[in-house]
């Protein structure tokens, strides 16, 4: 796949994520995909496999009563890596999260094979999920 196709794949992933469309997300991720979440909070760490990644995405929605939003601001695609810059917004137990986030994606054979989340303030992100 080329850079335009990689950008479109990631964009489709954001649209599916924000719509809660787990079926489409399942199609976009490789079965053996890996997702890394920065920080040391309860949701941080590595999620191995598409099912574990989708479960993590579901946990984001469940912990925020469905109001978690990943508002993509820009997608920069390359041959090997695609980077998405987003504004993450959510509410959880009276706390508000509104933070810049970057996710780097590796696309392999037309599927997302890896994602790495980086937060503007990892400590604040960790505290939000407590």
Per residue in 44-85, pLDDT (tens digit) is 999 999 999 999 999 999 999 999 999 999 999 998 899 999
CB count in 10 Å sphere of residue 15: 13
CB count in 10 Å sphere of residue 6: 23
Give the pLDDT mean for 98-110. Answer: 97
Give the pLDDT mean for 109-114. Answer: 96
- Dist. CA 62–CA 56, nearest whole Å: 10
CB count in 10 Å sphere of residue 17: 20
Instruction: Specify the DSSP class assigned to residue 88.
Output: E
Q: Is 0.75 surpassed by the pTM of this model? A: yes
- Dist. CA 68–CA 40, nearest whole Å: 20
**Bridge partners of residue 46, in order along the sequence:** 36
| For residue 130, pLDDT beyond 90 | no
């Amino acid at each position: 796949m080329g850079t335009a196709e990689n950008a479109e794949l990631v964009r489709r992933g954001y649209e599916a994520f924000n719509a809660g469309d787990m079926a489409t997300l399942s199609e976009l991720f490789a079965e053996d995909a890996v997702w890394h979440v920065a920080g040391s909070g309860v949701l941080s760490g590595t999620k191995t496999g598409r099912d574990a990644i989708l479960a993590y995405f579901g946990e984001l929605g469940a912990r925020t009563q469905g109001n978690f939003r990943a508002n993509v601001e820009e997608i920069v695609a390359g041959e090997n890596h695609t980077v998405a810059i987003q504004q993450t917004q959510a509410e959880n137990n009276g706390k508000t999260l509104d933070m810049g986030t970057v996710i780097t994606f590796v696309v392999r054979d037309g599927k997302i094979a890896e994602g790495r989340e980086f937060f503007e303030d990892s400590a604040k992100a960790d505290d939000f999920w407590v």
